[in-house]
Amino acid sequence: MTSNQWLPLAVIASSLLPGLIIFALPEKRVALRTALNLAGALAKAGLVGLLIAGVAAGEEYGLRHAIAPGIEIVFKADALALLFVTLSAVLWLFTTLYAIGYLEHAPHRSRFFGFFSLCVTATMGIAMAGNLFTFFVFYELLTLATFPLVVHRGTPQAMRGGSIYLAYTLAGGAALLAGIVWLDHLAGPGEFTQGGLLAAIPGLDPLTLQLIFALLIAGVGVKAAIVPLHGWLPQAMVAPAPVSALLHAVAVVKAGAFGIVRIVYEIYGVEFAQSLGLLLPLAVIAAVTILWGSSRALFQNDLKKRLAFSTVSQVSYIVLGVALFGPLGTIGGLVHLVHQGIMKITLFFCAGNYAETLGIHKVSEMDGVGRRMPLTTLAFSIGALGMMGAPLTAGAVSKAWLSDGASAAGMDWAIWVLWGSSLLNAAYFLPILHRAWLKLPPPDWPHEEIHPAGRRETAWLLLLPPLFTAVLTVAVALFADSSFSPLAWVRLIAEREYPNISP
Amino acid sequence: MSPLLDPLAWLILLPLLWATLAFVAAERHGPALALAGTGGQLLCVIVLASDVAGHGSIGHLAGGWAEPLGIRLVADGLSLVMLLLTQGVALALALYARSYFSRATPPAFWPLTGFLLAGMNALFLSGDLFNLYVTLELVGLAAVGLVAAGGGAAQIAAALRYLLATLVGSGAYLFGVALIYGSYGTVSASLLGTLITAEAPLAVWLAGGLMLTGLLLKTALLPFHFWLPPAHGGAPAPVSALLSALVVKASFYLFLRLWLGPFAALTEALPALAQVPAALGATAILWGSWRAIRADRLKMLVAYSTVAQLGYLFLIFPLLGTGALALQAGILQATAHGLAKAAMFVAAGTLIKVGGSDRVLGVAGAAAHLPVTLFAFALAGVTLMGLPPSGGFLAKWLLIDAALVAGQPWIVVVALSGGLLAGIYVFRVLRLAFRRPTAHEDVPLPQRPAALLEWTAFALAAGSVLIGLGAAPLLALIAGVQP
Amino acid sequence: MSAGLIYAATGCLLFVLGLGGVLLLKALLRRILAFNLMGSGAFLVLVGLAQRDGTPDPVPQAMVLTGIVVAVAATALALTLARRWHALTGRDDIARVRDTGRRVRRKANERRKSAR
């Protein structure tokens, strides 16, 4: 097996193997478990670095394995895959650190970290899938691996959240499978091909292709939380904070959005999809989701639920970008995949800090928390400003490209949607910041678990990850034009997707 | 090869031998004999596999007597797959039963199991209709005995119901054989395949109907499923596993053989006929899943799940005209289900034994002290739901593909809905297992079960998943059998 | 009508009678007897239909002998089970014995009703 073949497998193994070993560890082997977790995360980061270097230079990484005649598992680590892989690998490292701190003294940590690792393994598989079959296999594996994490606490609310989560995701999986097999029957194995697989196959019935598109998008749309399939996301907030961070920034929602990207660009091909009239409905759905999600967020008092609805809205920026025909929209959508991940994980880390340190779960309890936990609130503020699209943040960069893409595609109404969403974001984030910084704190916090020690407002492991990701939020905007930024990588992808037009 | 070393004959002789020895010897020798025996049988199958892979199909005349008075044993790709499944599951179950029955074995459990296996092997290796009748009866009687062994009133009632159903089934089958012999003068399945044409007399159509209906009764396809839940749900876990995983597959295998072999001309002449088992199968999936979702006791849940999953097997019949896809889907489903259902009953048995309650609610909080068992149950559930990367998923994929090729989209809807319904009852159990026990459920931890109890479940469940990843040789074996 | 056909027709009749008996009768002993009737019917058909050209055909006779042995074994098992059932419950039929798992709920309902 050449190095071009085993590197993708190694990336998957770097979280699978530690995960399997961790399952077997007794609860009290904390040091070994931590070491395995960190070793896996660092190894993965290193391997991903190698992949990036190779792909940038034009190397091809991939692997095929036949399971049955006509059915193959295909891995393909191309530029688009690496975008998702890198995001996942980097954020997994931070989330692992955070989770170790968050779950200190919690029960069933071996089980938690085992499934945690399986989750990331599944995400890597989704990212590097080279055909619809492989994508589906890892997509459903992600559902199965995240369920135990959602119900980890074992309370009745957790069980309920888990049931709702399963109902939505399994139903979505069934729709996805129907679409995939139908497509396989019509046009052969659904390989992800640059420029679109179906675009190159003549003589396919348009109505059938439109129906299949609807099935596929419905299937991946459940995880991507597009309206009306988003109901599971606020309910899944019963999970511990590291799980919410992982689910909402990295794994599940991004997997759904990534699926939409792959389907539109590499199964249908963006020009073919445009000619079938598929992009406008998709854009409309994305717009509805953006506005609906932000509107619902306004009325949530529970902090994590407010962030959940914010995610519903923000992930559809990616879908909007995909639906805007033209390289500018593509760049906007894809770069938001990374930027939203970084910003949202910051916000969830901070929400977790408030809950763990002071017992704060609701916005109304956050008065004056900026004095007690200034660093956390600083990170939260940066994330919130990024969501609003304030200048010098990652969010601003994505919004700029999306707006340009909208006008280039002749869909000026989308620019209004983006502005409306920014206003709504301000409407539900600014009051939080106002409360946190400018109001007086109450005499006691709901449940102070961690007491300040000098300058240290909470445990280091809880404080450092959000600070890092907040710095990243600003850094990716400040250095957007350098060749190491996510934006540069996304422009590379767009160049390869639209070879005839240069952004 | 010298007839003394022919694996075909040993596959039948070996279980007969160890069953008889187990009957005669003291009860404590039972497990050792069973393990040695099933191990030897597995070896025979592996030897046979290499022969069949080389030659396509192998025959053996018992005793050297020529037909029609002599009995010819024949093994091809399809029978080989079933033999592998049987021996593999039997070995795992023998290991499990040894630990499960550590204190009180039901009387005659080991000999009956041996006779059951002998009957099943003979069934898979027989080539003439009458010998198949004899093996069917042997399997049926042994199974009834296992259901009744050492049980109380409920088990005796279940065994009686099962016995009557199985006797009606084989009685109808025998009558059909009589009619066939009367019409053609032979009972050889391969010869009849060429002799029976679409212009066959009414007696042959009647015979076909009787035989196939009799087999449906033994496979517990709705509406003939009434005997299965009490029998499988009430028996001890290893017996339930044997019955659900293997015995019902034997009569399904026979149904399939008759459909594709002697009665092929009849079924092809009247394609609408194929919709009958498919419609019954679809109803079975919906009804069985519904009853499983509402079941109060854990083993009943798993037994009703068997009723539902058997429905999948019958969905393939309208699709058999489209080449090997449907056949592969059906056999792969049968194999994956056999492994998964055995795993599930084994896991359920351990959960009940350790938890002390046979109700579904008794599973609450089990994830804390029986993680391996729960994981095995979950893996088995993944196959039943048809989620990747399991064997059940691959079978579902092939089934949907075949349905699209044959232009029967309703089967796609049924298959997908069945998967979701299975998800409901599987996750019913898993959710309870992850639940944190409430104040009055916090009983002190019961004794940890023997490791073997947990790991056999895991091995069986892992098998059902691994088949999904490495199905190529299996599918190649089945593809060799022409539809 | 040849002798063979008469045997076969009688066999059919016996089979149908036996089948009806197993399905419709209540008492276990009668159902077991009805099953034997079914078997005998099938054997008659086998022997009868095979005698067409006058010379006795050994194959169906061998089959019938085997079948008789099988039927005896099955009957023995059935009778043993019926005896055990009678010893345990004093009943000679298995009607209305339902082990569907809903018993617990029914018992709970009965308890609730009697408590009122």
Three-state SS string over A129-193 comes to: ECEHHHHHHHHHHHHHHHHHHHCCCCCHHHHHHHHHHHHHHHHHHHHHHHHHHHHHHHHCCCECC
Please answer whether residues B273 and B335 qualify as being in contact, where contact means their C-beta atoms are separated by less than 8 angstroms: no
Q: Does the beta-carbon distance from C58 to B69 stay under 8 Å?
A: yes
Within a domain: B282: yes
Q: Does the beta-carbon distance from A174 to B472 stay under 8 Å?
A: no
Instruction: Please tell me what DSSP assigns to residue A426.
Output: H
Q: Does the beta-carbon distance from A185 to B436 stay under 8 Å?
A: no
Q: Smallest Cβ distance to B154: which of C48, C49, C99? A: C99
Cβ–Cβ contact B361 with A under 8 A = no
Structure confidence by residue, pLDDT tens digits, A449-470: 777 776 677 788 888 889 999 9
Structure confidence by residue, pLDDT tens digits, A182-202: 998 888 888 888 878 888 888
**Residue contacts between A and B (CB atoms, under 8 Å):** 82
Cβ–Cβ contact A184 with B under 8 A = yes
Within a domain: A123: no
Q: Does the beta-carbon distance from B359 to C28 stay under 8 Å?
A: no
Which residues, numbered 382 to 421 in chain B, qualify as contacts with chain C under a Cβ-Cβ cut-off of 8 Å? none
Average pLDDT over residues C16-37: 93
Q: Which residues of B touch A67 (CB under 8 A)?
A: 394, 468-472
Within a domain: A502: yes
Within a domain: A234: no
Which of the residue ranges A150-154, A463-467, B280-284 has the most confident prediction, judged by mean pLDDT? B280-284
- In percent, how much of chain A has pLDDT > 70? 98
Helix (H), strand (E), coil (C) string for chain B: CCHHHCHHHHHHHHHHHHHHHHHHCCHHHHHHHHHHHHHHHHHHHHHHHHHHHHHCCEEEEHHHCCCCCCCEEEECHHHHHHHHHHHHHHHHHHHHHHHHCCCCCCCCHHHHHHHHHHHHHHHHHECEHHHHHHHHHHHHHHHHHHHHCCCCHHHHHHHHHHHHHHHHHHHHHHHHHHHHHHHHCCCEHHHHHHHCCCCCCHHHHHHHHHHHHHHHHHHCCCCCCCCHHHHHHHCCHHHHHHHHHHHHHHHHHHHHHHHHCCCHHHHHHCHHHHHHHHHHHHHHHHHHHHHHHHCCEHHHHHHHHHHHHHHHHHCCHHHHHHCHHHHHHHHHHHHHHHHHHHHHHHHHHHHHHHHCCCEHHHHCCHHHHCHHHHHHHHHHHHHHHCCCCCHHHHHHHHHHHHHHHHCCHHHHHHHHHHHHHHHHHHHHHHHHHHCCCCHHHCCCCCCCCCHHHHHHHHHHHHHHHHHHHCCHHHHHHHHCCCC
For the ranges A158-162, A293-297, B69-73, C51-55, the lowest mean pLDDT is seen at C51-55
Within a domain: A435: yes
Q: Does the beta-carbon distance from B472 to A141 stay under 8 Å?
A: no
Within a domain: A338: yes
**Looking at residue C40, which CATH number applies to its domain?**
1.10.287.3510
Average pLDDT over residues A217-228: 92
Average pLDDT over residues A354-359: 86
**Domain that includes residue C98, residue range:** 3-115
Residue B339 — pLDDT band, cuts 50, 70, 90? very high
pLDDT at B290: 94
pLDDT at A503: 47
Chains A and C touch (3+ CB pairs under 8 A): no
C-alpha closest to that of A239 among B360, B434, B376, B382: B434
Q: Does the beta-carbon distance from B401 to A181 stay under 8 Å?
A: yes
* Residues B419, B423: Cα–Cα separation, whole Å: 6
* Separation in Å, CA of B398 to nearest CA in chain C: 34
pLDDT at C98: 57
Q: Smallest Cβ distance to B156: which of C31, C73, C88? A: C88
Check pLDDT > 80 for residue B135. yes
Q: Which residues of A touch B289 (CB under 8 A)?
A: none
For the ranges A66-75, A300-309, B212-221, the lowest mean pLDDT is seen at A66-75
The chain-wide mean pLDDT, for chain B, equals: 88
Q: Smallest Cβ distance to B427: which of A152, A156, A166? A: A166
Count of the separate structural domains present in chain A: 1
pLDDT at C103: 43
Check pLDDT > 90 for residue B28. no
In sequence order, the 6+-apart residues with CB closer than 8 A to the CB of B35 are B91, B94, B95, B98
3-state secondary structure of A66: strand
Residue C112 — pLDDT band, cuts 50, 70, 90? low
Q: Does the beta-carbon distance from B434 to A137 stay under 8 Å?
A: no
pLDDT at B284: 95
For the ranges A427-441, B91-105, B132-146, B353-367, the lowest mean pLDDT is seen at B353-367
Check pLDDT > 70 for residue C45. yes
Within a domain: A217: no
Q: Smallest Cβ distance to B431: which of A137, A144, A162? A: A162
Average pLDDT over residues B325-340: 92
pLDDT at C111: 56
C-alpha closest to that of B309 among B287, B276, B279: B287
* Separation in Å, CA of B226 to nearest CA in chain A: 30
Cβ–Cβ contact C34 with B under 8 A = no
* pTM of structure: 0.90
Q: Which residues of A touch B393 (CB under 8 A)?
A: 137
Residue A25 — pLDDT band, cuts 50, 70, 90? confident
Cβ–Cβ contact B233 with C under 8 A = yes
Check pLDDT > 90 for residue A324. no
Within a domain: B151: no
Cβ–Cβ contact B435 with A under 8 A = yes
pLDDT at C1: 56
* Separation in Å, CA of B388 to nearest CA in chain A: 5
Residue C105 — pLDDT band, cuts 50, 70, 90? very low
* Separation in Å, CA of C14 to nearest CA in chain B: 11
Cβ–Cβ contact B421 with A under 8 A = no
Cβ–Cβ contact B167 with C under 8 A = yes
Q: Does the beta-carbon distance from C35 to B295 stay under 8 Å?
A: no
Within a domain: B58: no
pLDDT at C113: 55
- What is the ipTM score, two decimals? 0.89
Cα-based torsion angle of the residue sequence B377, B379, B385, B388 in order, rounded to the nearest 10 degrees: 170
Within a domain: B318: yes
pLDDT at B254: 94
Q: Does the beta-carbon distance from A182 to B434 stay under 8 Å?
A: no
Cβ–Cβ contact A71 with B under 8 A = yes
* Separation in Å, CA of B14 to nearest CA in chain C: 21
Which of the residue ranges A412-416, B447-451, C3-7 has the most confident prediction, judged by mean pLDDT? A412-416
* Residues A432, B309: Cα–Cα separation, whole Å: 53
Count of the separate structural domains present in chain C: 1
Structure confidence by residue, pLDDT tens digits, A29-88: 888 888 888 899 899 989 888 888 888 887 788 888 888 877 888 999 888 898 999 999
Count of the separate structural domains present in chain B: 1
Q: Does the beta-carbon distance from C74 to B163 stay under 8 Å?
A: yes
pLDDT at B154: 87
Structure confidence by residue, pLDDT tens digits, B40-54: 999 999 888 888 877
Maximum alpha-carbon separation in chain B: 72
pLDDT at A129: 93
**Domain that includes residue B411, residue range:** 275-483
Tokens standing for B399?
């089934």
Residue B2 — pLDDT band, cuts 50, 70, 90? low
* Separation in Å, CA of C111 to nearest CA in chain B: 17
Structure confidence by residue, pLDDT tens digits, B179-215: 998 888 888 888 888 888 888 888 899 999 999 999 9
**Domain that includes residue A376, residue range:** 312-503
Q: Which residues of B touch A141 (CB under 8 A)?
A: 388-389
Check pLDDT > 60 for residue B230. yes
B/e letters for C19-33, b = 16+ CB within 10 Å, e = fewer, are: bebbeeeeebeebbb
The chain-wide mean pLDDT, for chain C, equals: 82
* Residues C58, B68: Cα–Cα separation, whole Å: 10
Residue C4 — pLDDT band, cuts 50, 70, 90? confident
Q: Smallest Cβ distance to B148: which of C15, C59, C81? A: C81
Provide the CA B120 distance to its chain's centre, in angstroms: 10
pLDDT at A190: 85
Check pLDDT > 90 for residue A289. yes
* Separation in Å, CA of B289 to nearest CA in chain C: 14
